[in-house]
Amino acid sequence: MSVLWTAEEIAAATGGEIHGNFAVGGVTFDSREVEPGDLFVAMPGTRHDGHQFVPMAFQKGAHGALVSEEVKGPHILVPDVAAALDALARAARERLSEDAVVIGVTGSVGKTSTKEALYAALERSARGRAHRSVKSYNNHTGVPLSVARTPRDVRFAVFEMGMNHAGEIAELVKLVRPHIALVTAIAPAHIENLGTIEAIADAKAEIFTGLEEGGTAILPEDSPHRDRLIRAARGKTRHILTFGSKDADAALLHAVPARSGGSLVTARLRGREVTYTIAQKGDHWIANSLAVLAAVEAAGGDVAQAGLALADMAGLKGRGERHVIPVDDGQALLIDESYNANSASMKATLASLGREEGRKIAVLGAMKELGEQSAQLHADLAAPILDAGIEQLILVGEEMAPLEAALEGKVPLARVDDAGEATDAAKAILRPGDAILVKASNSVGLAKLVEALAGGRPCST
């Protein structure tokens, strides 16, 4: 086991008391994810207190626990576990070498996909010395956990930061302290809490407040909020790069479909042309790739190796993972976008579905946290659906009623109450050769539909 933290180091970082000497190779606050050698962080929760799961963590091989009450087994005792995890994250960031490059990623859409692509691009040449936040660990508990997990000898570290209220990213970025801060896109996600799209842009721009001296800000050239983001970035750095259309620093020159099903892209990157293939389908992935290459170059990474990584990158679970599923005596294509949804990502994935072969089916659930704009933003999906040539539609939940009304008589559709009914409806209409898209906010639960249709098998194309 490679030692990530010793008990002495944890105690020094958190101000805690050592009860039993130990060393750990990982950190987690989810008892289901404990691996032998881990530190289990007994986080307080709204429904369960992590201290209840300390015995289970030790049974699964945890070497120690971070707790606020004494437990049986090696542990560090602290007054406040959440504050101690933050402190451990600060210590992890502080001990990185001067050569390490830390990258922060945020945005209304594409941040997890871009973070994963950026990690893959850097890991390709760093060979075991790249680190990133896993899953969507991007909130007030996920970010400190991800930073606390950072190996001391890392060359590149990529962290995702999310928010649903103003001020949240400003706090998270204090832990990350990035050398490069990247905003993928601005869209009306969480507008229920922030009120306006401009407020969303300002909240995302908080990532620039944590830039290290001499750091680089990267943002979308083609966003209506480009100038707003640039003004925010200029308050912290003079090194600002944009990605997108021909006037950007990382500029798309042209893109054509690749034989593999993705895109063959030619881009201009700081005055030189680069050509590369993206495995993933969709124009949104072209934009993501430009952001990735801009960040790789700013980090001093290998752009050529980054291009190879983009060509090899598979779809992410819930974010574009593709499955070939059995249907009667044949097969159908299932595109899993069940983890997240907002108006921008809905439109992008519907357009991508429109380029698939076969009959096109979409199972769409609600986009959450849209507040007073919810009805209109759902109804506005009618045009992208018609443009994509969707031939069969299953809508899930009461929030999809405005879209149902907007499409009345234009597309065969059914509106159902939940994921279980959506699964039954999908099974009833699927036939060989179909392409079916499943997309909704995670709380709708359409991952259950994907699991039911794909049978839990890793059968990505």
Is 111 labelled a binding residue?
Answer: yes
CB distance 435 to 361 below 8 Å: yes
Taking alpha carbons only, the member of 369, 387, 389, 390 closest to residue 378 is: 369
Q: Do 258 and 278 form a contact (C-beta atoms < 8 A)? A: yes
Report strand pairing: 23-24 vs 5-6. antiparallel
**112 marked among binding-site residues:** yes
Q: Flag whether 107 is marked binding.
A: yes
Using CA atoms, how far apart are residues 265 and 278, in angstroms rounded to an integer? 8
Q: Is 110 annotated as a binding residue?
A: yes
Return phi, psi of residue 40, to 5°: -95, 120
- Taking a C-beta distance cutoff of 8 angstroms, is the pair 213, 328 a contact? no
Nearest CA among 143, 174, 139 for reference residue 158: 143
- Amino acid, single-letter form, for residue 202: D
**Chain centre to alpha carbon of residue 98:** 27
Q: Which residue type does 319 have?
A: R
324 is in an annotated binding site: no
Q: How far apart are alpha carbons 442 and 415 in whole angstroms?
A: 18
Which residue numbers belong to the known binding site? 107-113
Binding residues for ATP, by number, are 107-113
